Amino acid sequence: MGNADTASATRNNRTICLPFSQEDYEANIKNPADFRSCIDKRIELFPELFPTEVAGGYLMKDIYQSKKLSIPLRRIEVAGISYSIRPSFVMPYLTGVTNDIEKALFFRKFNVPFWALSHVFGKDSMYWYRIEQTLGRNSIVGTTVKDPDDIPEHLGADEKHTWILGEKVYVATTVGKGCILGTSIAKDAGEQALKDAYQVFKDEARCIKPDYSPFP
């Protein structure tokens, strides 16, 4: 990603996704003091999820109701910039609740057509098509690692076979420091297919740290 794209992405990224169970979220969202306590705990546990300026404090802002999912959402202000807090049980862009999405997409593993998902789970077939197509849009490395110096020097890599739409494929997985840093699909176990699959991790890592080169 070039500098212009990076700057654009930074300007547009105004959502902070935080780990919440639905029960915990609903019990605290309406009370500003309780919800601030929840945020403070998550800043302590997961500082990488927040802008670095949050160390200087933040302001609680408004609460509004999502028209898509009919759930309340809050905003906070960090260094003069407003961010919406999205609980982790809600999909990006508020397209659905993760448990509902997971149940429907599970059947795609068995090549269940989109019109059948629509018949059983609601929405239209294009809704489920778009959900599937956007699964890989985020960089795993960019989402997991915030500080370039935290990218591990020593990595583990392995492949596990599985089935997608009736075809056997291989999941090329890269791990380090107890985190999954890359997962990509290789259509076969040949050298070129696996090289291309692992290349995704390399490209994502070098978006964060251009001179990155792990030790074997």
End-to-end CA distance of the chain: 26
| Confidence at residue 144, expressed as pLDDT on a 0 to 100 scale | 76
pTM of the predicted model as reported, rounded to 2 decimal places: 0.67
Residue range 60-89, pLDDT digits in tens: 999 999 988 999 999 999 999 999 999 999
Split at pLDDT 50, 70, 90, the class of 26 is very high
Is residue 106 a part of any domain in this protein? yes
Is residue 214 a part of any domain in this protein? no
The domain total for the chain is: 3
Query: Domain residues for 108?
Result: 97-133
In whole angstroms, give the CA distance from residue 136 to residue 134.
6
- At which of 87, 106, 121 does a domain end? 87
Residue range 195-211, pLDDT digits in tens: 999 999 988 888 888 98
Q: Which range, of 80-84, 88-92, 147-151, 172-176, averages the lowest pLDDT? A: 147-151
